[in-house]
Chains A and B, each alone.
Chain A
Amino acid sequence: MPQIAQLPEIWSSQLFWLLIIFGLVYVVVGKTMLPKVMDTVGQRDSQIASDLAAAQAARDAADEQEAAWRARENANRAAAQGVVAEAKAKAASATETRLKTAQVSIDAMSAEAEARIEVARNEAAVEIETVAAEAAQDITARLAGVKVTKTAAAAAVKKAMAHG
């Protein structure tokens, strides 16, 4: 086993060269090159982090604008609905008043007409009675030769008409 057999003659050279070469590796690779490599990685990481942060900020701003737009939109819609409802109410009330006035005039006209019809009917009834009394007077005079007074005839007619 040369590691042990050669130990007395090689240990000093092994130690010497290892210290020198590992020292060089430590200084050149560990202390000089490694920090630069790690620095590059760090820069990249921070660049990515800042890019992500910027993207997040942009998204937040977009969300905010969308929310504002939505609020404005909702307000506009509510206002429009208010206007529509108001117009509808106004139109409905106008229609109602016009209908009311029309109804009133129609009622008046029909009441007047009914009154006129009543009057006419009464006049007609009176006329019919008169005519019937005269006819009854005439008929009795011709058939029975009895002279009936106007009043008696009218009473008889009234009686007959009341019986129907």
Chain B
Amino acid sequence: MAAQLAPEPAKVDPMHQFTVEPMFGSAGWEAAGFNIAFTNSAMWMVIAAVVLWMFMLGGMKRQLVPGRWQMAVESFTGFIDNLVEANIGKEGKKYVPYVFSLFMFILFANLLGLMPLGLVGVHPFTFTSHFTVTGVLAIMSFAIVLIVGFWKHGLHFFSLFVPKGTPLVMAIIIAPIEFISFLFRPFSLALRLFVAMMAGHVLLEVLSSFVISGWGAGLGFGVLVGIPSFVLMIAICALEILVSGIQAYVFALLTSLYINDAEHLH
């Protein structure tokens, strides 16, 4: 019975887009026994970095009256500068380069992953849909929080887990809860971005498979299933662009909030 009910292999595998493959025959590259193959994921990191560099280059004209491109770059830097200033305050200035790099790198990665480059035979790879990547970014932010916190406050940093004005009896209960929620921060940071990006791409892929299968099954299915799916895809593409920006923003915002905890404890 089970063998008869087993589905045929799908024509479109929505998870295939997340497969990491070594490029240029680099599968065997190793460093200290660890594989460091130059994968499509690494390739798109390089592309995101290069596109980001080119974007920033347009902001380096340093004109008193900025052109459009310079204005765009300056609005991004001003946006992150304000974000950090609002959340951390004057001491936040030194974190602006990190938060800005993080925000722009994630934003460009998310947006490049949505580019319809499949039309010209290049398949974009969204490396922010891998928790091996978002996890490393989250651990970096969390490590900064820990280092800054213990550097500035020493063991006093643990008072972060006791909110101000808590009675002692309550503090005994609240401190472990606060501690656990603190430890969950890197996971929530990493998983939020990874899940949001993966879910969007899976949804687009599934809808595109509906379009293909619908038209493949005949005109009636094409009109009934294919066209609505295609319209929905367009709408969800717009939504995904929004999500790309929001997730990059959330990552930068939470990072600066956590750094604020480390700087000011409360």
| Distance in angstroms between the alpha carbons of A35 and B45 in the assembled complex | 23
Q: Is the CB of A14 within 8 A of B97?
A: no
In contact, B36 and A16 (Cβ under 8 angstroms)? yes
Complex interface bits, B59-99 against A, C-beta within 8 A gives 1, otherwise 0: 11011101000100110011001000000000000001110
State which of A13, A22, A24 has its C-beta within 8 Å of the C-beta of B37.
A13
**How many residues of chain A have a CB within 8 Å of chain B?**
36
Interface, chain A (partner B; CB < 8 A): 1-3, 6-7, 9-19, 21-22, 24-26, 28-31, 33-38, 40-41, 43-44, 47
B155 within 8 A of A: no
Q: Which of B64, B97, B133, B137 has the most CB of A within 10 A?
A: B97
Q: A12-B35, A16-B36, A41-B78 are in contact. Are A30 and B18 (CB under 8 A)?
A: no
Least Cβ–Cβ distance between A27 and chain B, in angstroms: 9
* Alpha-carbon distance A24/B45, docked complex (angstroms): 11
B148 near A: Cβ within 8 Å?
A: no
A36 vs chain B, min Cβ distance (A): 6
Establish whether residues B41 and A34, one from each chain, have CB atoms under 8 Å apart when the complex forms.
no
- Cβ-defined contact, B60 with A17, below 8 A: no
User: Can you name 11 A-B residue pairings with CB atoms under 8 Å?
Assistant: A10-B41, A13-B37, A16-B34, A16-B36, A18-B45, A22-B45, A28-B53, A36-B60, A37-B60, A37-B77, A47-B64
List the A residue with the shortest CB-CB distance to B29. Answer: A13
Contacts A12-B36, A29-B56 known; list 5 others, CB within 8 Å: A7-B132, A10-B35, A16-B34, A31-B97, A37-B77
